[in-house]
Amino acid sequence: MSVHMIIVMQHQAPKEQLDAVLERLTEAGFQLHISEGVSRTIIGVIGENTKERIAGMAVEAMAGVEKVVPILHPFKLAGREFKPEPTVINLGDLTVGGQEIQVMAGPCAVENEEQLLTVAQSVKEAGATILRGGAYKPRTSPYSFQGLEEEGLKLLAKTREATGLKIVTEVTGVEFVPVVAEYADILQIGARNMQNFQLLKAVGRTTKPVLLKRGPSATFEEWILAAEYIMTEGNFNVIFCERGIRTFESYTRNTLDISSVPVIKHLTHLPVIVDPSHGTGKWHLVTPMALAAVAAGADGLMVEVHPNPSQALSDGPQSLTPDNFLELMIQVRAVAQAINRQMGKLQ
């Protein structure tokens, strides 16, 4: 039986005491994950019959150990028990999960260089810091536009060079992880792939931050456990993205679950952003739901913007025009100020 434990070291325990505990646990064959907080270090211990073995080793009696506690949730590394402080993910001069709110904006699909550069320049002027755009597009219908693939990635990289915007783009299969990681600043796992466990493991073996979208029928626990697959491979830079769930309602594309923001922040230490474009499927609902998301504590937004939504090759009805996006940013900035958050800025 697998029982997972955390070992809480005493306040500012010296390094030699921590090393002694780590050495003893390693020799016993446990898998260890270390969380270094401001004042104390927590060791996550994973293995078979963990509780009984650690008790038999008298780990709690070792110098520097404050207490040994079992993890009660099915998720281990993402939980607040393992890491009480919120995780802040660094993207060069930007952070996700701290005081700043980062806005990721751009077209659903990269169509051509002119389209991408036009959108990128407009969203940057409005205050976005990260450019979103799909090069590989998993579509419900095999007859829909599937993306420009590596050519799209090259256009994204060229646009980053021209504007300074960071890039988030989706990786749809294990075989595409190396090429997408070569170009992107953030690897996106789409809703349809939330439980593609081999893909989760593959992005977990990279050093790039991962944006994990919620599956359309996923519970909070299933969503967090998907993040756990990434983290067990060593990549702790996971960003949750709420994009709506499937309910009985048919007026909107999905039902955007704003409650997921405080729930995920309560259960985990990882940042969470909201995608009101996919969450509603209707452009006129994007701004009010973006405001609600920021008010609920979201660490960022993902918004679809297209210079001519009626001509978009993908998701035109939910895309904002550059002018509408500018209005969204003005209102979002006001809400952020009201709750003592600030908008992210490129240096």
- The CATH number for 143's domain is 3.20.20.70
Task: Please give the distance of CA 106 from its chain centroid, rounded to a whole number.
Answer: 17
* pLDDT per residue as tens digits for the range 114-164: 999 999 999 999 999 999 999 987 666 776 766 788 999 999 999 999 999
* pLDDT per residue as tens digits for the range 181-202: 999 999 999 999 999 999 999 9
> What is the reported pLDDT for 136?
87
> What is the reported pLDDT for 39?
76
| Phi, psi for 310 (deg, rounded to 5) | -70, -20
Residues 36 and 169 occupy one common structural domain: no
| Mean pLDDT across the chain | 93
Q: Are 295 and 279 in contact (CB under 8 A)?
A: no
Nearest Cα neighbor of 99 from 341, 346, 347 is: 341
Query: Is residue 1 pLDDT above 50, yes or no?
Result: no
* pLDDT per residue as tens digits for the range 61-73: 999 999 998 887 8
Domain that holds residue 14: 5-70
Could you give the count of Cα atoms lying within 13 Å of 273 in the half-sphere of its Cβ?
27
> What is the reported pLDDT for 146?
67
Higher pLDDT, 38 or 73: 73
Residues 52 and 108 occupy one common structural domain: no
Distances (CA, A) of 227 to 215, 223, 232, 258: 12, 7, 9, 19
Domain count, the chain: 2
Residues 236 and 339 occupy one common structural domain: yes
| Local structure of residue 11 (DSSP, 8 states) | T
Residue 157 resides in a domain: yes
R_g over Cα of the chain? 21
Residues 152 and 296 occupy one common structural domain: yes
DSSP string, 210-248: EEEEPPTT--HHHHHHHHHHHHHTT---EEEEE--B--S
Residue 325 resides in a domain: yes
Residues 284 and 214 occupy one common structural domain: yes
Higher pLDDT, 73 or 298: 298
What pTM was computed for the model? 0.90
Higher pLDDT, 137 or 239: 239
pLDDT (average), residues 83-100: 95
Residues 63 and 95 occupy one common structural domain: no
> Vertex 4, ends 66 and 1: CA angle to 5°?
140
Higher pLDDT, 48 or 280: 280
Residue 20 resides in a domain: yes
Residue 78 resides in a domain: no
Task: Please give the distance of CA 308 from its chain centroid, rounded to a whole number.
Answer: 28
CA distance 132 to 146: 16
Q: Are 230 and 200 in contact (CB under 8 A)?
A: yes
pLDDT (average), residues 227-239: 96
> What is the reported pLDDT for 139?
65
Q: Are 156 and 183 in contact (CB under 8 A)?
A: yes
Residue 75 resides in a domain: no
Provide the residue count of the chain. Answer: 347
Query: Is residue 206 pLDDT above 50, yes or no?
Result: yes
Q: Are 271 and 300 in contact (CB under 8 A)?
A: yes
Distances (CA, A) of 244 to 16, 228, 252, 272: 48, 21, 10, 13
Residues 149 and 37 occupy one common structural domain: no
Residue 79 resides in a domain: no
For residue 240, the tally of other CB atoms under 10 A from its CB is 27
Percentage of residues of the chain with pLDDT beyond 90:
82
Residues 12 and 125 occupy one common structural domain: no
Residues 172 and 313 occupy one common structural domain: yes
Residues 65 and 103 occupy one common structural domain: no
CA distance 128 to 144: 28
In three-state secondary structure terms, 343 is: strand
Chosen domain end from 70, 99, 119: 70
Residue 112 resides in a domain: yes
Residues 188 and 288 occupy one common structural domain: yes
pLDDT category at 27 given cuts 50, 70, 90 is very high
Residue 83 resides in a domain: no
* pLDDT per residue as tens digits for the range 241-272: 999 999 999 999 999 999 999 999 999 999 99
Percentage of residues of the chain with pLDDT beyond 70:
97
Residues 130 and 12 occupy one common structural domain: no
How many secondary structure helices (H) and strands (E) does the chain include?
11, 15
pLDDT (average), residues 295-306: 98
